[in-house]
Chain A
Amino acid sequence: MRFDRLRRPAALVTGALFALPAFAQGATPKLDSGDTAWMLTASMLVLLMTIPGLALFYGGMVRAKNLLSVLMQCFAITALVTVLWMVYGYSLAFSTAGMHAGQVDLHSIVGGLDRFMLAGLKPDSLYNTVPESVFVMFQLTFAIITPALIIGAFAERMKFSALLWFTGLWLTFVYLPMAHMVWSGPGSLLGDLGVLDFAGGTVVHINAGIAGLVACLVIGKRKGYPTTPMPPHNLGYTVIGASLLWLGWFGFNAGSAVASNGSAGMAMLVTQIATAGAVIGWTAMEWFTHKRPSVLGAVSGAVAGLVAVTPASGTCGPGGALVLGLIAGAACFFTATKLKNKLGYDDSLDVFGVHAIAGIIGGLLTGPLAAATLGGFGTVTSLSGQLWIQAKGVGFTIAWSAALSYAILKLLDLSIGLRVDAEQEQIGLDLSEHEERAYNL
């Protein structure tokens, strides 16, 4: 089947094809104050997603004795990743030195160290129409939230020291190359394949979700799981956290236009629509099967919708976003509630069941939903062809994340050990790892 080329303005097409396009050849980029103002704002919104958004979303779901450990892990990851990003992270992810469109070599997989310590960054350095400093900051917030997402899988049992080592190694060997392969422009491995990933479905969500599954399998179940009740200790926090994630996600998706333009506006709208669809999808499934619509279900559905629309937010239309959201919400209800219990792994806060699954659904459906016949705005000529390209991108991400995450976790488990001992786990990580209590009532 063939589809008409896009009937949209050229600027939007470029924005849609490459979320983070490299400098247009020849044209000298000029700073745009509107774009800059929006990207400054978007960077703050994405940081808000991790602290306190994700921290509260996860924190409410753990038992009271582990609340501080979750908040601390999110906070520590924010600080650690910032420093690593400044030293070499930005360079490995976004250095384009030696890259040539269509040429696959080491430069297609990981950037060089020519931007070590942010070498060459000045107040007037530009990335497209925004200061490069703002782009460095914006991308940093993505690098922060991705390892932070994983902590939900091994919550309530990992040593804090192991968490720090894991974050540093995982960022270096899994995240940075992955970001480079998708977002560094012409010459990047997955970018050149034509994989559509507007805001990070592969780099962030599938990547983190698969690492989460591997992590909970390597570290093992929590003591007493699943026979001992481990109910969330404060779903109010979880609702606040999910709401902050929803809000912050506009920076994530609409900010990925790296401009204040029509592409950003459309990304914001489809993000809202897909999220609403997923809340309804999850809640309807739950109401039907369990006879009660739960609060935790509604907010989990929202996160599933946000994840699913992330790769599609630059190319899908409003109708496509609604369908995507409904499917993601319903599917993640199944994976987070039924599949997990059936398979018996202890992905404590459903990083795999929500992030990986919604990420995969979104990653695949981004292809067909970009087609004009399905209301999309991408330059997709063949539904099945683009679906296949998307599948290659998704499959590559799963394999990449699974293999490298496993190696890192095994290495750490054999060297410093991943888990606290049984007694410390029983006392709770707040007291045993941090000598503090969240609640002194």
Chain B
Amino acid sequence: MKWITAIIKPFKLDEVREALAEAGVQGMTVTEVKGFGRQHGHTELYRGAEYVVDFLPKLKIEIAVSDEQAERAIEAISSTARTGKVGDGKIMVFDLEQVIRIRTQEVDADAL
């Protein structure tokens, strides 16, 4: 199983969610986050006082998938979240040791 974390541009969320659903992903967790990468920040100017805003708002998506699903899920995110401009974000994939559905106590593939 894989644990996929993706940082994306906030306005891309709906497209990514639809693409992941088509790829068979059953659930996801979304968090509003701030950070910077190569895009860096932007400047704001209030009555002549200039502030550099380093951290930009992004969304972090987290999904747990089976090994077979992983390829399609990564493809779904990378194709829909992409604008081609700096700041599109990153996809990070980890090995996932164990999953337990709390309600039924099912484990691993059954719990996904």
Contacts and interface: CB of A to CB of B under 8 A. Distances in A.
Interface of A: 226, 229-232, 290, 292, 294, 296-297, 300, 336-338, 340-341, 350
A297 B49 contact: no
Contacts of B48: 336-338, 340-341
Contacts of B46: 231-232, 294, 296
Contact of B51 (A229, A292, A294, A300): A229
A296 B47 contact: yes
**Chain B contact residues: over half helix, strand or loop, or mixed?**
strand
A297 B51 contact: no
Interface in B36-79: 44-49, 51-53
A230 B50 CA distance: 10
A231 B53 CA distance: 11
A232 to B, nearest CB: 6
Nearest to A340: B48
Contact of A290 (B45, B51, B52, B53): B45
B47 to A, nearest CB: 5
A94 to B, nearest CB: 37
B3 to A, nearest CB: 30
19 contacts: A226-B49, A229-B51, A229-B52, A229-B53, A230-B49, A231-B44, A231-B49, A232-B46, A290-B45, A292-B45, A294-B45, A294-B46, A296-B46, A297-B47, A300-B47, A336-B48, A337-B49, A340-B47, A340-B48
B47 A231 contact: no
Contacts of A337: 47-49
B87 to A, nearest CB: 21
Contacts of A296: 46-47
B41 to A, nearest CB: 11
Nearest to A332: B47
A46 B31 CA distance: 47
